[in-house]
Amino acid sequence: MTSKARPNILFIVVDDCGYADLGCTGQTDYATPALDQLASQGVRFTQAYANAPLCTNTRVGLITGRYQYRLPIGLVEPLRWSDRDAPEMGIPPGHPTLPALLRDAGYRTALIGKWHLGYLPVYSPLKSGYDEFFGIMGGYTGYYTHLGDGGEHDLYEGEVPVERQGYVTDLLSERAVAFVEAAANASRPYFLSLHYTAPHWPWSAPSVEAAARQRERERAEITEGGSTRIYGEMMQILDAGIGRVVEAVRRGPAGRETLIIFTSDNGGERFSKIWPFVGRKFDLLEGGLRVPQICWWPGRVMAGAVTDQVCITMDLTATCLVAAGVSAATGHPLDGRDLLPVLTGDTAASERTLYWRMGNRQQRAVRRGDWKYLKVAEREFLFDLAYDPRERGNLARKEPALLDELRGLWETWNREMLPVPGHLTPPMSNLSEMLW
């Protein structure tokens, strides 16, 4: 496949966005016209899952195309500034990654936004396949102050801290527009990872800028400040920025040869709308795992389609590689599956078996077909998601043979993964005890 035949790829990942936080997925408190338009011209997924219900772990699955539990960095829940000097707390330089495979095949690769896969000097996007990087090394940064979770300045150009004035979401959108415009007439295709920090806390928006700056400087807890109104404002700024980037793609000569993917790294948080599900970030309930997802590629994927295909973040990795005509690395077979046959309409939705686990509260889950096995601490659950997407009716006693079968599948799968560490950082929020 020639470079001209290969698509540009714009991979948009947002942070802590709930399943129903977009207009096209059920949000009614505010509008997301750019993302709604993207969905109306592409394929929207109703059963897309994150690799994990939190940041770092899903990003490991995305960049490797494999279950994150195969690497030590995929076990921390999540990576924090205090972990920066711990051994193996990052994607090992030289480990096969999606950007590295695409770069080696001739793509220009860039990450604009959140990295969260290891700290300098050992780890960085430039050591894992990206030619360019502008963004945040850690889990979040203040939208105005650009202070990270350790109180450190966290906004980088390459591997050098830089001072910029402005709201982080806008800074990332502006840089992405500039990248797309500069790459429009290049002979090489590009792979742009646009990984926003929004709508992750701190709860900062222009209408409350002064108070937001103060909370950012004080590194306020997630429970401080914020409201559904402020969250909606953050989402609208995010949507508008994505709209500007997509418009830059459309204006370019290769607009129709660009694959755009939109997804979230996990389910929603404090102010997210997750209906009809329950649970949130850190939970293996549907609300912590189910995410909004859109794929757009004019003339190649269906337009205005909605698919019930069950899928997971690492499937998008496989999809990008197949679209680019690039093979997985030798010795590192993908756990993800190519979604292009579903996106083009050539193949109907098919049954999947997906696995998750969390050291936190000893959670484990399997989804096979419509059935989901869930264990939280010592409690086991069995749900038929086709009839009970809110996971209210536990069928474990009614279907003991199926419970045993799914538990056995999980245990067999788990033996192929690294063991859960003995010590894990407690969650930033935990309302799961209230859910049953």
Q: Which amino acid is it at 334?
A: L
End-to-end Cα, the chain, rounded Å:
53
What string of pLDDT tens digits covers the 436 residues of the chain? Answer: 444 579 999 999 999 999 999 999 999 999 999 999 999 999 999 999 999 999 999 999 999 999 999 999 999 998 998 888 888 899 999 999 999 999 999 999 999 999 999 999 999 999 999 999 999 999 999 999 999 988 999 999 999 999 999 999 999 999 999 999 999 888 899 999 999 999 999 999 999 999 999 999 998 888 888 999 999 999 999 999 999 999 999 998 877 899 999 999 999 999 999 999 999 999 999 999 999 999 999 999 999 999 999 999 999 999 999 999 999 999 999 999 999 999 999 999 999 999 999 999 999 999 999 999 999 999 999 999 999 999 999 999 999 999 999 999 999 999 999 998 875 545 544 444 545 4
Please give the full DSSP string across 102-131, using - where no structure is assigned: HHHTT-EEEEEEE--S--TTT--GGGTT-S
- Residue ranges of domains in the chain, CATH in brackets: 3-344 (3.40.720.10), 353-434 (3.30.1120.10)
Residue with tokens 């579903």: 342
The arrangement of strands across the sheet holding 293-296 comes to 160-161, 156-157, 132-136, 108-114, 190-195, 8-14, 258-264, 293-296, 43-45, 305-307
With both helix axes pointing from N to C terminus, report the angle between 55-64 and 313-324 in degrees, rounded to the nearest 10: 30
Q: Which amino acid is it at 226?
A: G
pLDDT value at residue 423: 55
For 374-396, write each residue's pLDDT tens digit: 999 999 999 999 999 999 999 99
On the 0-12 / 13-18 / 19+ scale of CB atoms within 10 A, 70 is middle
Q: Are 19 and 25 in contact (CB under 8 A)?
A: yes
pTM: 0.95
Separation of alpha carbons 267 and 250, rounded Å: 29
For 269-284, b/e burial (b = at least 16 CB within 10 A) is bbbbbbbebbbbbbbb
- Secondary structure element (H or E) that encloses residue 287, with its range: helix 286-289
- What six digits make up the tokens of 59? 């990003």
- Secondary structure element (H or E) that encloses residue 251, with its range: helix 228-251
Separation of alpha carbons 108 and 8, rounded Å: 9
Strand partners, 290: 49
Strand partners, 141: 148
For 52-89, write each residue's pLDDT tens digit: 999 999 999 999 999 999 999 999 998 998 888 888 89
Separation of alpha carbons 272 and 393, rounded Å: 24
